[in-house]
Structure 1
């Protein structure tokens, strides 16, 4: 795998992007099924609020994602 990363950096980035999208899609589907399944509007609002609270508690910093 390390050889692939060094020989094909663009391909490696595409694999990572594809993986992130697939994780996001799976999580989104699970939230639709299990997180307030009878009320999509309330489910979306609750997810938004939880995300906003997590960002607030982290002081809106995403510096740890940078290399």
Structure 2
């Protein structure tokens, strides 16, 4: 019990030191890994549920949804700049 408690405390100290004294390389690796894992999961879910019987339609729909999201985001940003 004592060993696991000290291991948890050591991990907490390392984590706290990393968060309080951010190092750009560590944060870049952490954020990059999180983004890749997120998109890997999203692609897996889309492969299963978005037109699973028709890959071409699934890919085209995904591209169109992505473009639509980017256009909406850009439009909202431009509206915000006008305010």
TM bucket by the smaller chain?
A: 0.7 to 0.9
**Following superposition of structure 1 onto structure 2, how do residues 16-31 of structure 1 map, counting pairs within 5 Å?**
16-31=31-46
TM-score normalised by structure 2 residue count: 0.63
- Which structure has greater helix proportion? 2
Per-residue CA distance 1:5-59 (angstroms, 9 max, x = gap): 4253311210110111001101001100111000111001001111111111222
Extract unaligned runs of 5+ from structure 2. Answer: 1-14, 78-83
Q: Does 1:36 align with 2:51?
A: yes
CA distance in 2, matches of 1:61, 1:17: 26
In structure 2, the partner of 1:3 is 17
Deviates more, 1:44-53 or 1:8-17: 8-17
Relative contact order: is structure 1 or structure 2 higher (C-alpha 8 Å, sep ≥ 6)?
1
TM-score normalised by structure 1 residue count: 0.76
CA distance in 1, matches of 2:22, 2:38: 26
